[in-house]
Structure 1
Amino acid sequence: MNMIEISVIIINFNSSNYTIQCIDSIFKKTGKDIAFEIIVVDNKSETKDFEILKNYCVSLNHDKLHLYQNSENSGFGGGNMFGFEKAKGSYLAFVNNDILFKNDCLSILSNSLKQNHEIGVCAPTTYTSDGEILPTLDFYTSPLKVICGRKIYKYLRPKEFINRNLKLEKPTKGDFVSGSFMMLTYENFKKSGGFDTNIFLYHEETDLCKRLEKMNLSAVCEPKAECIHFHGASTPKSIKIKAELKRSLLYVIKKHYGNLYYFLIHFYILNSYLLKVIVKPKYFYLIKQLLRPISLNSSTKTD
């Protein structure tokens, strides 16, 4: 009999202070009747950062907490798949290390999955540290969305349009949920193929929810579960990160929409930055990256 109900998987990369706060909040807010484990995957951080995290885990001396060191920085998907191989729970919670639990998210989300087997993945209401709502649900990355923007869906799909900055009153479906905190069953995650490790960073949740949809499973925000996300804390903004975001976008477009849409979007994005480079010369780097083959070998992993 499986004694672990929920496996929480957290990736650390040179941000042990956030990881420690995240772990503390999970232990503090999770109900005593939930059998869970926390799997921390260090994605080849600098020695000092890893030692801080290691010393914390040793001092805590908790049998529910497990720390593993990856042999390389394999990104979001690769790091989480590393953790997945260690997981023993019937449910998987993939949690960014810059998340703080506001309430018993593990119990609330797992109960949603137990009560409705049509849910493939669910996520909590997420707030900034200032108490503002961060978007949990969104529409799929598509050529129309990239070119025309999110607001176009307000007119094309009015019944499904969600004001992403308002607190939801009940569990609500979207195309996909934010990858900062998502829960799904071990079985469904495995059947879907898990995270695509060809994606180093960003848009992994879009790709995963696309595959869950093909299994007739939906993505849902459960508003009763609440957390704080120090948005972008683990991956500070930079031109390299912006380039990674666009590379991952193009990979997902090509994978799910084919070459025609890929070339259309690639052309559109490239030309938009060619215009911007006049006033922002730093975009030369971004343009150069967009001209490289879209693959794991051209990601910031190799920079």
Structure 2
Amino acid sequence: MDYKVEISACIVLYNEPIEELQKTIDSFLNIPLSKKLFLVDNSPKQNKNNFDHVDIEYLFNAKNIGFANANNQVIRKINGYSKYHLILNPDVVFSSEVISKLISELKKDINLAMIAPRAIYLDGSHQYTARKYPSFFDLIIRRIPFFSKRKKEQEYQFQDLSKPFYPDFIHGCFMLFNTKDFIKLKGFDERYFLYMEDVDICKKIDELEKKKLYYPLVKVKHVKREGSSKKIKLLFYHFSSAIKYFLKWGF
């Protein structure tokens, strides 16, 4: 099949700091492959003038329709258009060779639907983005120090995280899909406004009898704001999504 571009990507925006966002955009535009970047803006005010580039398509919603819904707006656009599709947070930066190396791994296994690199904080410390599927109990105790061993088990901290492996799920800040698999999955479940979409889509990959690969031999930098621990409204979204997730998949 002839694709228009090798890779497409989607970044969902909501009042993003332009200077930080531009670093993420530049990371993608510097990839030495044919590409298209979709910026789906859930902000109340339009920022189209900041994104005038031949490889960028800007979509403005004029309201916050949520992360899942916004990402799914590009499904029809990428179907048959790109070979690979990247879900990308607006606070992630990476070097130009990262994508090529991940694509090389995807090509090795037709049963591999999605791949993600190691993520680090800006200071170089490790982010535990590969995780086991949570129980309802895990989400409740996650921020309680007494259960630190349980948290480490959930984050695979007792195994060698310098080697690739197939975790239950991977944090959604950087997820590279075979586009055809993303289409089969019908993108993210739009019942989630914010949070748990990444866990849910990994469950759906399981249902396709396909795999997700954590590939730490390449890395990206991720600011990771952890908003749900700082703002009551975001904490509510997280709790609401968790309830929807467990009602769907079981407690």
For the aligned pair, the TM-score class normalised by the smaller chain equals 0.7 to 0.9
Residue equivalent to 1:230: 223
Structure 1 counterpart of 2:25, from 10, 23, 26: 23
Q: Distance in 2 between matches of 1:135 and 1:100?
A: 17
| More helix per residue | 1
Answer yes or no: is the 8 Å Cα contact 2:229–2:235 preserved in 1. Answer: no
- 1:202 and 1:125 map into 2 onto residues whose CA distance is 20
Instruction: Work out the CA distance in 1 between the residues paired with 2:227 and 2:39.
Output: 14
Instruction: List alignment gaps of at least 5 residues for structure 1.
Output: 262-303
Q: Give the C-alpha shift of residue 167 in structure 1.
A: 7.7
Q: How far is the alpha carbon of 1:173 from its aligned partner?
A: 1.1
Q: Deviations over 1:180-225 (max 9, x none)?
A: 1101111111212210111000010111000111111122111122
Q: Which residue of 1 aligns with 2:144?
A: none
Q: Which runs of 5+ in 2 are unaligned?
A: 142-146
3-state SS of paired residue (1:90): strand
| 1:131-156: CA deviation from partner (whole Å, max 9, x where unpaired) | 1111120011224534676744878x
Q: Indicate yes or no: 2:132 matched with 1:131.
A: no
Gap change, CA 1:182 and 1:188, over 3 Å in 2: same
Tell me, yes or no, if structure 1 residue 99 matches structure 2 residue 92: yes
**Same amino acid, percent of matched pairs:** 27
Name the structure 1 match of 2:211.
218
| Secondary structure, counterpart of 2:103 in structure 1 | helix
2:78 paired with 1:84: no
Of 234-243 and 245-254, the range deviating more from structure 2: 234-243
Aligned AA for 1:55?
Answer: N
Measured in 2, the distance between the counterparts of 1:187 and 1:80 equals: 15
- For residue 174 of structure 2, the aligned residue among 171, 176, 181 is 181
SS in 2 for 1:197: coil
TM-superposition CA deviations, 1:120-177 (whole Å, max 9, x none): 211111111111111120011224534676744878x9xxx7218x983332110001
Q: Counterpart of 1:132 in structure 2: which amino acid?
A: S
Q: Is the 8 A contact 2:167 2:212 kept in 1?
A: yes
Post-superposition offset of 1:46: 3.3
Q: What amino acid is aligned across from residue 93 of structure 2 in structure 1?
A: L
1:239 maps onto 2:232 in alignment: yes
The change in CA–CA distance for 1:144 and 1:233 in structure 2 (over 3 A counts) is closer
Corresponding residue number in structure 2 for 1:11: 12
Task: Classify 1:150/1:220 alpha carbon distance in 2 versus 1 (closer, same or farther; 3 Å).
Answer: farther
TM alignment of 1:112-123, pairs within 5 A:
112-123=105-116
**Counterpart of 1:67 in structure 2: which amino acid?**
Y
1:67 has 2:66 as partner = no
Label 1:154 to 1:239 Cα distance change in 2 as closer, same or farther (>3 A): closer
The letter of the residue matching 2:57 is H
Q: 1:266 aligns to what?
A: none
CA distance 1:91–1:150, shift in 2 (3 Å): farther
Contact 2:9–2:36, Cα closer than 8 Å, also in 1: yes
Range with greater deviation from structure 2 (85-94 or 122-131)? 85-94
The TM-score normalised by the length of structure 2 is 0.87
In structure 2, give the amino acid aligned to 1:13: Y
CA contact (8 A) 2:71 2:187 kept: no
**1:7-59 deviation per Cα after TM superposition (whole angstroms, max 9, x unaligned):** 1111111014132221012223x2x2x2211111111x132xx33xx22222x
| d(CA) in 1 for partners of 2:26, 2:103 | 20
Paired letter, 2:121: T
Correspondence for 2:163: 170
Higher-Rg structure is 1
Distance 1:93 1:57 in 2: 18
Q: What is the one-letter code of the residue matched to 2:44?
A: E
TM-score (norm 1): 0.73
CA distance in 2, matches of 1:235, 1:92: 27
Deviation at 1:3, TM superposition (A): 2.5
Greater relative contact order, per chain length (Cα 8 Å cut-off, separation 6+): 2
Question: SS in structure 1 opposite 2:9?
Answer: strand
Q: Distance in 2 between matches of 1:20 and 1:145?
A: 35
